[in-house]
Structure 1
Amino acid sequence: MTSNRFCVFCGNLPDKKTREHILPQWLLELTGDPKRVVNFGTNFENGRTIRFDWSNFCVPACEICNTEYSNLESRAKPYVLKLLARDSLTSIEYVDFMDWMDKVRVGLWIQYHFIQGNPTNIQPSFHINTRIGQKDRMIAIYPLEGDGVGLNALGAESLIFHSQPSCMGLRINNILIMNMSSDFLFSGRCGFPFPKSCFTMLDGENPHMMHTSDFSVTRKIKHPLIRKQIFKPSIHLYQPIMSKSEDKRFQSGFLGDVSIFDSYLAKHTLSPYPSGKGILYFQHLDRVEPLYDINQPIEFESCTGIHSKPMYTLVQQIYEFQNFIYKKGKFLAEERELERNHEKRTKLLLKWNNNVIAHYSKRKNS
């Protein structure tokens, strides 16, 4: 199923239109029959369950855009094969893998926007090109018991994900990957600049634009990087990413960085300085470990005993973190009625997720 509205990568009308598999053909073949028919949630326009085969889960793309991302797709395959075998990737390979997860997450958001009838009544204002490696991001990789074969996009059908594609899960055979990305999600706790004031205006001269001010920087790492409990994964990586700015106050060209050279940021970002892209941080149970060597192999940690969780519990956690990130947002409006409507909308979106969370919680208690 495709839509002919715009290219998933650049957002323009497709030039020499091609079909882009957000979840690539090699991944479909790795996880079963590429033509298997699966459920993709509900079409909120007609209430029907959306069912079609994985091989037709496509979006339009410009030929040149599709070609540009083919190298990333080809690199992602050996990464996935190594993860399925519980082999190590280097720090810089995980950075590259996070780029692929950004592509998958934003691509799924756009695809579900089409196939579910735009239930939250939004018009995508960004596309894959403008979201890869642009915001704080993390991945948590969980081993699953057994040798099951299958592919699931988890949380991609939720109404919160429709409004804010900041958290989802991807089950690939015997691993589950939770991926999160959002503005200033943990930059401050990595010692990076962060705004004490951050809100989005719903109206005014630039509606839906984020406003940030009163930046601070501690240059200290705080444990844990996200102040919400997360089940222990085998791989638990965070990458703070600074946003570009043309404001002359920020001399490095990145929001919140007022100096031409900052020794802490130089040490904790990828070269060449200033890149704005942080090194990876491994979140352990008792500490945070910055990974300075980009060629350092990152081994799978054991998740046994009390740390071994069934898949339904891990899926529940995805919806809980969707709620967590969504509730961190602050929205204001010059028209009070707009604020009230947004508050009502927020309650409805959270209620939808809470019903899903309750469903998985009952399984735990049964």
Structure 2
Amino acid sequence: EGQVFFIHNRVSNIYEVETVIRKLVPGVRTVVGHGQMEGPKLEKLMMDFINGEFDVLIATTIIESGLDIPNANTIIINHAENFGLSDLHQLRGRVGRSNKKAFCYLLAAPLSTLTTEASRRLRAIEEFSELGSGFNIAMQDLDIRGAGNLLGAEQSGFIADIGFETYHRILNEAIQELKHTDFKEIFKDEKEDTSRAFLNMKFGSDCQIDTDMQLLFPDSYIQSTSERMLLYRELDNLENEEALVQFEAGLIDRFGKLPAESLELIEVVRLRRAAVELGMEKIILKHQKMVCNFISNPQSPYYQSPIFGKVLQYVQSHPQTCRMKEGNNKLSLTFDKVKSVKKAKEILEGVG
């Protein structure tokens, strides 16, 4: 059995919390520690807790750093919605420092009463629970609080509304545009494929996939819900074929042969990559039909690019298998008899 940290960050009523805990759990041995105590007294109670004389240490965030207590394997954080994301991550790290399974419980007000930022903090600390997730926590914290001006010190601005990842993508597109327009003479020696650079200059780094196919890691294959969520996130962040192959091999090594719906899910990453390379913003894969939507801005220089020229050549040479049409100021390319994600990926690879 392990010991428990109960975090209550209000010295004014921390002893009332101790009384409540003793009523709820008769016989439990509790002790209170906070920063307003005299040094020797605080040191003594901490040593007594380490030596196992108490079951529960009710404390403020004073325990955020200091002595390691391997026998403490549970932390309960009261009013977790009032803590910053980095504080929650730091506090959570105070348990799980031995071979005992650790637990972290967040006590918060009803979600319907919380601010948007507080809800996002709690969701983030729940999602990123694996070892080494500190960087992801930091990025989520940056996204929630906002990074402010690019060269200034303000912690505000439109980045707080659109999110850091979207902001980073827009910034990268603007840089690429300047490289190939106003400052093309300066960057003319860069060794980069011209058509691909032209495409990346005007497009985002992703394509939305909308499908009625069953694409997932079934619970019969991976029983842990949290493990499945982590794997979905990892799969979504894979950037190249080598990483995708390693990911697939890792799944087989850990869980065995992949079921059909999981193989198709992995193919979605390849399909999305092929779609981005062709300048497609969205793919609808339903009823054995694939509809590929191109960039919605009809004035985009993409439509004068070599990439779009390849698409037109393919359409002209394959009139029986695909058709292009325009409606509601959107250009789309439709393929019939597309029964799987793998087939859809092979078609787009043939177009490019």
Fold similarity call, TM over 0.5: no
Which structure has the highest helix share of the two?
2
Whichever of the two has the greater Rg, that structure is: 2
Which structure has the highest strand share of the two?
1
More relative contact order in 1 or in 2 (CA 8 Å, sep 6+)? 1
TM-score (ref. length: structure 2): 0.25
TM-score (ref. length: structure 1): 0.25
